[in-house]
């Protein structure tokens, strides 16, 4: 199916990136899953080859690539495994905050090293006591002289263990009414006094994505690390969540297609009662249903990519795509595992890992229940 946003140069880039991943990621992916981390050497290699933040301006080391390059990178990463999604987070979720809301001095400090792979970024929203309700965060940043004193705890932070700098969502005015008007974004760098990383968290899936807690105990952060304006953090987050949720929809779509492909191969080869299980009507109907749902989802996501590239406000549609595609990925994983029979439950079969990896899609970047609330609110309910 032709993609209106993909041109010949995007497909040339795809071939190059796919070859890079086949050589430098696929053979080591199992090791990374065991280590619960993608090594920094891989980030450096990706940076050297131009696969980190290609959208960045040339003066920061990027090549002003359009959003379609980000789509290609997300798709190819997801074909290897959702566990290397931390690179997508760095490329298309964290660094765009620096690019759009950062001062020139901040951009010069962080963008070139993010592009080269010398620095890994993260964003810290979620706290132990608050999930999708960002206005209710408890982490505070109190101004004292020419710096902020940060106190609080963040959890479930992707890239949290390996990060060199993290955008921290905090309250600079805990008494603001409504509460979201007191939220600001601070960039906290590794080595900051009072900032420490917790252990790598043990997750059900996406093991190669290092995820950890971050602790701030009277952390001293220079005031020049404030991103944008004080009290505007919540609005910045709302503006950027459109792209984050669209990236998740794209990743879930790619994962669903990949699971269907590996299951198609499997059912043609596996025999039962003297014939391939692909010849049973139940198998055919299940495969037809999944293929149809995926194609319908793909048509919608493709349209949203075009709209996003045209700078349209599609927050509502992206909420729809995020919940629909992540939910579909879970259903596809379950159906594909079932069609693998007992082998689907075995670690040496890829579908077992995929089944674990997709589970969190309906939870992060705002739960699917929150997505439905957004849609309902926009319906006037």
Whole-number Å distance between alpha carbons of 143 and 324:
42
**Cis before 40? omega within 30:** no
Closest CA to 203 of 195, 191, 211: 211
Query: Is 208 strand, coil or helix?
Result: coil
Whole-number Å distance between alpha carbons of 82 and 29:
11
Catalytic residues: 244
DSSP characters over 305-346: HHHHHTT---HHHHHHHHHHHHHHHHHHHHHHHHHTGGGGGS
| Nearby residues of 32 by Cβ (< 8 Å), 6 or more positions away | 38, 39, 83, 84, 207, 208
Helix crossing, 281-309 with 67-80: angle to 10°?
150
CB-CB contact of 63 with 54 (8 Å): yes
Residue 164: count other Cβ atoms within 10 Å of its Cβ. 17
| Nearby residues of 129 by Cβ (< 8 Å), 6 or more positions away | 138
Query: Is 230 strand, coil or helix?
Result: coil
Task: Report the run of H or E that residue 222 belongs to, with start and end.
Answer: strand 211-222
CB-CB contact of 250 with 230 (8 Å): no
Closest CA to 20 of 104, 101, 79, 94: 79
- DSSP letter, residue 58: G
């Amino acid at each position: 199916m032709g993609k209106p946003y993909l041109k010949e140069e995007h497909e040339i880039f795809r071939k190059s990136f796919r070859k890079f991943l086949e050589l430098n990621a696929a053979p080591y992916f199992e090791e990374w899953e065991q280590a619960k981390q993608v090594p920094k050497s891989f980030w450096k290699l990706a940076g050297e080859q131009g696969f980190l933040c290609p959208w960045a301006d040339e003066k920061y080391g990027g090549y002003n690539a359009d959003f379609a390059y980000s789509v290609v990178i997300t798709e190819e990463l997801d074909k290897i495994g959702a566990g290397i999604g931390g690179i997508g987070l760095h490329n298309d979720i964290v660094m765009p905050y620096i690019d759009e809301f950062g001062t020139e001095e901040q951009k010069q400090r962080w963008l070139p090293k993010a592009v080269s792979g010398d620095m890994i970024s993260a964003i810290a929203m979620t706290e132990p006591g608050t999930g999708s309700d960002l206005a209710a965060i408890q982490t505070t940043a109190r101004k004292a002289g020419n710096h902020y004193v940060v106190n609080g705890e963040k959890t479930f932070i992707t890239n949290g263990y390996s990060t060199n700098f993290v955008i921290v969502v905090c309250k600079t005015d805990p008494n603001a009414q409504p509460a979201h008007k007191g939220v600001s974004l601070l960039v906290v760098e590794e080595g900051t006094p009072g900032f420490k990383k917790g252990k790598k968290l043990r997750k059900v899936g996406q093991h190669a994505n290092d995820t950890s807690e971050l602790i701030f105990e009277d952390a001293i952060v220079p005031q020049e690390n404030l991103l944008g304006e004080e009290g505007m953090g919540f609005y910045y987050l709302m503006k950027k969540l459109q792209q984050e949720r669209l990236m998740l929809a794209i990743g879930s779509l790619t994962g669903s297609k990949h699971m269907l492909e590996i299951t198609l191969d499997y059912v043609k080869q596996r025999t039962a009662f003297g014939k391939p299980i692909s010849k049973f009507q139940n198998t055919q109907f299940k495969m037809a249903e999944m293929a149809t749902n995926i194609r319908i989802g793909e048509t919608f996501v493709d349209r949203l990519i075009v709209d996003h590239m045209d700078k349209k406000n599609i927050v509502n549609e992206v909420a729809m795509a995020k919940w629909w595609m992540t939910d579909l990925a879970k259903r596809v994983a379950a159906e594909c595992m079932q069609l693998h029979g007992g082998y689907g439950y075995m670690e040496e079969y890829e579908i077992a890992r995929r089944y674990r990896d997709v589970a969190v899609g309906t939870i992060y970047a705002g739960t699917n229940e929150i997505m439905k609330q957004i849609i309902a609110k926009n319906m006037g309910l």
